Chains A and B, each alone.
Chain A
Amino acid sequence: GCGPSRGPAMDLFGDLRRMNKRQLYYQVLNFAMIVSSALMIWKGLIVITGSESPIVVVLSGSMEPAFHRGDLLFLTNFHDDPIRAGEIVVFKVEGRDIPIVHRVIKIHEKENGNIKFLTKGDNNEVDDRGLYKEGQNWLEKKDVVGRARGFLPYVGMVTIIMNDYPKFKYALLAVMGAYVLLKRES
């Protein structure tokens, strides 16, 4: 008769044992190449857009109904782009890491280009002064991460899920790692 049928897990280990060292190194290099390319693309985006974080995920509902939690925003931060009322900017409050996406509602710019401005979320009743640092009444160019130029809905949800459920993140990484290591080039 036939032997017991082997499940996919058994096949996986069978594969691993059969691979010789050379093949393993080759797969690891392949994996490293993919990671490096991804990093290079990201760095390239940072250079092209001038923003330290050219793609951000919307984390709160303070800009609804335009943007919802989980939407993806594409930013640029060209030095010569003036900041004007009505623009949507992403900024960081000094000392905090979380980027905030709100709209500029007031600007006061001096002749030499020095500008100070105030922001407010579309969905908020009051302006952002309560969010700024203690004693800080205005934002300046240095606080800006970028200006929102384009957006895609929902796509950023993956990042939020991975943040809120780290187990999901590790599982995803493990699956990706296994796939890349075991993928054979025919």
Chain B
Amino acid sequence: LRKNVEDFTGPRERSDLGFITFDITADILNEKSYSKAFGNKNVLIIFDWNVKQLFLYLSAEYSTKNNALNQVVLWDKIMLRGDNPRLFLKDMKSKYFFFDDGNGLKGNRNITLTLSWNVVPNAGILPLVTGSGHVSVPFPDTYETTKSY
């Protein structure tokens, strides 16, 4: 997983808004036999006969003065059984606004971006799995006044 922070924020309604651009490279493998193969691997979950789809989401986790734990889903994707299990997404913008509850993004050095997914079976248990790669991203100390987003 590789992510880059491009812009930073503008306080709106007195809350910080963050902008992140990211690349996602993930290999979600189809057969158990390949589960250890690759270089960049993130994930090793299998599409077997009981997996209807995977609901993938990229979430940002961080701490602020206001709140000990914050998690915001920035982007999601539904991957149906039969879809290409490899993701090579570049320069993605977050699908959802990354608002903090307060002003905790400014100068926050440690925002962790993680790719996770919800396995939706044809019938049975609904597990949530976290990918093995994650990246820490810092936000700058100042606000951007002009945004080209």
Contact = CB atoms under 8 A, between A and B. Distances in A.
A39 to B, nearest CB: 26
Given A105-B73, A109-B70, A66 B125 contact: no
A151 interface: yes
Interface residues of B, number: 30
Contact of A122 (B55, B67, B72, B125): B55
Contacts of A151: 120-121, 123-124, 126
Nearest to B71: A85
Given A65-B53, A85-B73, A109 B68 contact: yes
B59 interface: yes
Contacts of B71: 84-85, 106-107
Contacts of B57: 85-86
Contacts of B72: 85, 105-106
A3 interface: no
B69 interface: yes
Contacts, number: 74
B84 to A, nearest CB: 17
A151 B116 CA distance: 20
B34 interface: no
Contacts of A110: 66-68
Interface string B83-127: 000000000000010000100000000000000111011111110
Given A66-B53, A85-B59, A150 B125 contact: yes
Contact of A148 (B69, B70, B117, B126): B126
A153 interface: yes
Contacts of B128: 84, 86-87
A21 B57 CA distance: 65
A108 B122 CA distance: 32
Contacts of A97: none
A80 interface: no
B78 interface: yes
A152 interface: yes
Interface of B: 52-53, 55, 57, 59, 61, 66-73, 76, 78, 80, 96, 101, 116-118, 120-126, 128
6 contacts: A85-B57, A86-B57, A108-B101, A116-B101, A149-B125, A152-B123
Give the 7 A-B CB pairs with smallest separation, nearest first: A85-B71, A111-B68, A105-B73, A109-B69, A108-B101, A108-B67, A66-B120
